[in-house]
């Protein structure tokens, strides 16, 4: 399954959710090296020399082909390198071809076990972590995985040719040091309990990737269809540029007998076929062109998965519960635009979204409303019934208020604002009246057929999307905004142009997910940090630039206990919610998956998991029964 680094950081960068998940890291060294796992809180669930993860089936049949479609809105690809900013990488590359020093458990919070690393040692002062590599670890070209390769991977990823996301989350890592051919140490500039996990789940690749026969090297950001040299279980077998790619199991895969790999990656081949849009993809699935699909649209799930193949048992549809933090999904209001810099304006825009009508009319009552950046977890500020700050939260707020006078609204000490509702006794009419009053306070009045500021300029903005999936939602939202005199332009673009505009922050409003995790940390600097707001290609789509938010992220990253982490995260949630940066959408606490009946999955579900990654890593093809012969 995808590791912490790729899930929290790179996956966030390419705008897709793969969920699961500072503190005292638990290591139990009885010698200079001894720890098989690290856990930010408490003790790892699985002891040394455990047999397999409980959510994997060690007896799963090996073989067969898994054919999948676009795992996100990607409709084409132009490179194999997933770690650079420019272009779109082929699906499956990261999960199937690259590995890391450690791999996370999907039924624990922030706990990882040795993969390329045989064991791990944290320095007593917490300012470095050292990994000893397995002697049998090999890259796809047969070369051993050495400390030099680990250092090269790290130096390359934090360098100027890789995505800036890596530099952001590794900002507290001073250097990687080769101690011995099979031992590498990472030094930290300050104590940060999440850093060993971040470094441990960093993707590792060979220093030979990109080397020409004459010894010269292709620049990292120019690696396109140069075959990656990783240590993962699969190799690229064939591909059709931009349309499909097939992976085959590496017959010399070094890690097949490891406990962290038992029952993991069971298919002989994995193929991705990319489709132009969601409608074509759904029809292709029902026609048997690929094997499994994760459905994110409630209407499709209710209406589109009812063909004869479902009735005769050839296809199946199921929902699978999870305990993922929902994060925050919504209409992101770009703070780089002057139009959205008044919080009263932002609050008014939120009052115009009628979730109850959308859920009833469009979503078949499948969803629940988001009202936190950490919904579905104990980290949410509204996790307590009365939504008021507790004593620890008030203490932290007081400290921050003294440090940043006038930067925290007095309302933050009160109840956390819940997302507007239209269920009785509330109504859309009353919400729009409140919105009109807020807009008037901000200087926006209705005259000459439009809502205008004192200069006479109309209130107009663009909602940018890339696939058309939100068209009906935006249409309903726009109709409500028109009642306030606001004009909305809906703009749909292809995925590549959409990504480019996001990288340059060239948008007014977009619909997207700010991912959540059970153990937030360094990724928050990229998502919400002031520095990231000014760095092209970062994940701070909102454009938040707040010293209070920066300070709270630092508190979260350096929290020494789980309660301290919860306190700081809830206060961050309160501060963000009171600034109304996002018009919240909705979430589901289950995955919707339809699949060919030839596929099977483990009886024990993980707790924190993305549906696509779960299918790819732990499902299998059931063996065909021998045909009966008749006389």
Question: Tell me, what's the pLDDT at 15?
Answer: 35
Structure tokens at 625: 């029964």
Report yes or no on 400 lying in a domain.
Answer: yes
What is the spatial distance between Cα 114 and Cα 118, in angstroms, rounded to a whole number? 6
Same domain, yes or no, for 349 and 241?
no
Report yes or no on 337 lying in a domain.
Answer: yes
Same domain, yes or no, for 397 and 258?
no
Q: What are phi and psi of 263, to 5 degrees?
A: 80, 10
Report yes or no on 100 lying in a domain.
Answer: yes
What is the spatial distance between Cα 388 and Cα 414, in angstroms, rounded to a whole number? 6
**Per-residue pLDDT tens over the stretch 438-469:** 999 999 999 999 999 999 999 999 999 987 78
Report yes or no on 270 lying in a domain.
Answer: yes
Same domain, yes or no, for 371 and 517?
yes
pLDDT band at 627 (very low <50, low <70, confident <90, very high): low
pLDDT-wise least confident of 14-28, 146-160, 559-573: 14-28
Same domain, yes or no, for 137 and 204?
yes
Report yes or no on 460 lying in a domain.
Answer: yes
Question: Tell me, what's the pLDDT at 516?
Answer: 84
Range of the domain at 396: 328-587
Q: What CATH number is associated with residue 477?
A: 3.10.105.10
Report yes or no on 107 lying in a domain.
Answer: yes
Report yes or no on 92 lying in a domain.
Answer: yes
**270-300 as b/e, with b when 16 or more CB fall inside 10 Å?**
bbbbbbeebeebbeebbeeebbbbbbebbeb
Question: Tell me, what's the pLDDT at 168?
Answer: 84
pLDDT-wise least confident of 175-184, 203-212, 383-392, 449-458: 383-392
pLDDT-wise least confident of 365-369, 478-482, 544-548, 597-601: 365-369
Closest CA to 530 of 407, 370, 366: 407
Q: Which distant-in-sequence residues (6+ apart) come within 8 Å of 146 by Cβ?
A: 133, 181, 182
Give the Cβ contact number of residue 499 at 10 Å.
22
**Residue bearing the bigger pLDDT, 23 or 156:** 156
Enclosing H/E stretch for 446 = strand 445-447
**Residue bearing the bigger pLDDT, 426 or 627:** 426
Same domain, yes or no, for 574 and 597?
no
Whether residue 42 is predicted with pLDDT greater than 50 in this model: the reply is yes
**332-344 as b/e, with b when 16 or more CB fall inside 10 Å?**
bbbbbeebbebeb
Whether residue 363 is predicted with pLDDT greater than 70 in this model: the reply is yes
**Residue bearing the bigger pLDDT, 624 or 502:** 502
Residue whose structure tokens are 């988001």: 370
Same domain, yes or no, for 576 and 595?
no
Same domain, yes or no, for 239 and 359?
no
pLDDT-wise least confident of 247-261, 306-320, 511-525, 602-616: 511-525
What is the spatial distance between Cα 573 and Cα 575, in angstroms, rounded to a whole number? 6
pLDDT band at 103 (very low <50, low <70, confident <90, very high): very high
Cβ proximity of 628 and 337 under 8 Å = no
Structure tokens at 58: 């060690």
Q: What CATH number is associated with residue 156?
A: 3.40.190.10
**Per-residue pLDDT tens over the stretch 344-358:** 999 999 999 999 999
Whether residue 10 is predicted with pLDDT greater than 50 in this model: the reply is no
Closest CA to 349 of 453, 434, 458, 467: 434
Whether residue 597 is predicted with pLDDT greater than 60 in this model: the reply is yes
Integer Rg of the chain from CA: 25
Give the Cβ contact number of residue 403 at 10 Å.
12
**Residue bearing the bigger pLDDT, 395 or 469:** 395
Cβ proximity of 239 and 245 under 8 Å = yes
**Per-residue pLDDT tens over the stretch 66-97:** 999 998 778 899 999 999 988 999 999 999 99
Same domain, yes or no, for 146 and 78?
yes
In this prediction the pTM is 0.81
Same domain, yes or no, for 560 and 595?
no
What is the spatial distance between Cα 554 and Cα 22, in angstroms, rounded to a whole number? 10
Same domain, yes or no, for 476 and 377?
yes
Same domain, yes or no, for 157 and 22?
yes
Of all residues in the chain, what percent carry a pLDDT higher than 90? 79
- The number of folded domains in the chain is 2
pLDDT band at 7 (very low <50, low <70, confident <90, very high): very low
Whether residue 28 is predicted with pLDDT greater than 70 in this model: the reply is no
Report yes or no on 309 lying in a domain.
Answer: no
pLDDT band at 384 (very low <50, low <70, confident <90, very high): confident
What is the spatial distance between Cα 585 and Cα 336, in angstroms, rounded to a whole number? 22
Residue whose structure tokens are 């059970």: 518
Same domain, yes or no, for 38 and 187?
yes
């Amino acid at each position: 399954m995808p590791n912490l680094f790729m899930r929290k950081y790179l996956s966030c960068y390419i705008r897709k959710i793969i969920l699961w998940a500072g503190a005292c890291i638990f290591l139990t060294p009885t010698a200079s090296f001894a720890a098989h796992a690290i856990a930010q809180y408490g003790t790892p669930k699985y002891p040394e020399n455990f047999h397999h993860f409980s959510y994997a089936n060690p007896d799963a049949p090996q073989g067969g082909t898994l054919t999948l479609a676009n795992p996100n809105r990607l409709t084409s690809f132009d490179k194999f390198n997933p770690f650079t900013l420019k272009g779109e990488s082929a699906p499956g590359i990261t999960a199937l071809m690259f590995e890391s020093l450690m791999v996370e458990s999907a039924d624990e919070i922030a706990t990882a076990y040795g993969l390329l690393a045989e064991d791990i040692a944290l320095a007593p002062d917490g300012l470095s972590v050292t990994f000893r590599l397995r002697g049998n670890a090999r890259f796809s070209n047969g070369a051993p995985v050495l400390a030099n390769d680990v250092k090269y991977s790290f130096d390359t990823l934090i360098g100027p040719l890789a995505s800036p996301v890596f530099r952001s989350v590794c900002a507290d890592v001073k250097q990687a040091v080769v101690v011995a051919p099979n031992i590498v140490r990472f030094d930290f500039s300050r104590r940060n309990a999440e850093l060993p996990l971040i470094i441990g789940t960093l993707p590792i690749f060979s220093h030979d990737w990109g080397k020409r026969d004459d010894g010269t090297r292709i620049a990292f950001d120019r690696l396109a269809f140069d075959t990656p040299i990783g240590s993962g279980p699969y190799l690229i077998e064939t591909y059709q540029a931009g349309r499909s790619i097939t992976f085959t199991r590496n017959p010399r895969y070094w890690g097949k007998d490891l406990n962290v790999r038992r029952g993991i990656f069971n298919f002989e081949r994995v193929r991705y076929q990319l489709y132009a849009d969601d409608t074509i993809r759904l029809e292709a699935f029902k026609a048997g062109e690929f094997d499994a699909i994760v459905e994110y649209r409630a209407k499709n799930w209710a209406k589109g998965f009812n063909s004869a193949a479902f009735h005769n048992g050839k296809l199946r549809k199921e929902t699978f519960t999870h305990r993922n933090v929902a994060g925050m999904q919504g209409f992101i209001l770009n703070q780089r635009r002057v139009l959205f810099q008044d919080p009263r304006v932002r609050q008014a825009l939120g009052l115009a979204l009628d979730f109850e009508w959308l859920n009833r009319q469009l979503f078949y009552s499948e969803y629940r409303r988001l009202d936190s950046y950490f919904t579905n977890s104990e980290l949410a500020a509204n996790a307590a019934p009365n939504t008021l700050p507790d004593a620890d939260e008030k203490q932290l707020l007081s400290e921050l208020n003294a440090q940043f006078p006038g930067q925290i609204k007095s309302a933050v000490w009160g109840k956390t604002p819940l997302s507007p509702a239209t269920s009785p006794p509330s109504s859309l009419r009353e919400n729009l009246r409140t919105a009109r009053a807020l807009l008037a306070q901000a200087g926006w009045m209705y005259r000459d057929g439009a809502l205008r500021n004192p200069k006479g300029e109309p209130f107009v903005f663009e909602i940018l999307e890339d696939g058309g999936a939100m068209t009906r939602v935006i249409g309903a939202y726009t109709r409500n905004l028109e009642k306030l005199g606001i004009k909305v332009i809906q703009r749909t673009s292809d995925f590549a142009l959409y990504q480019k505009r996001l990288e340059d922050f060239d948008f007014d409003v977009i619909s997207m997910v700010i991912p959540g995790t059970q153990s937030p940390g360094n990724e928050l600097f990229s998502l919400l940090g002031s520095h990231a707001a000014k760095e092209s290609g970062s994940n701070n789509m909102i454009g938040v630039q707040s010293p209070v938010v920066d300070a709270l992220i630092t508190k979260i990253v350096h929290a020494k206990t789980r309660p301290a982490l919860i306190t700081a995260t809830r206060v961050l949630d309160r501060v963000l919610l009171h600034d109304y940066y996002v018009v919240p959408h909705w979430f589901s606490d289950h995955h919707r998956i339809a699949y060919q009946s030839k596929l099977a999955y483990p009886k024990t579900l993980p707790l924190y998991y993305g549906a696509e990654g779960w299918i790819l890593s732990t499902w299998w093809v059931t063996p065909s029964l021998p045909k009966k012969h008749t006389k």
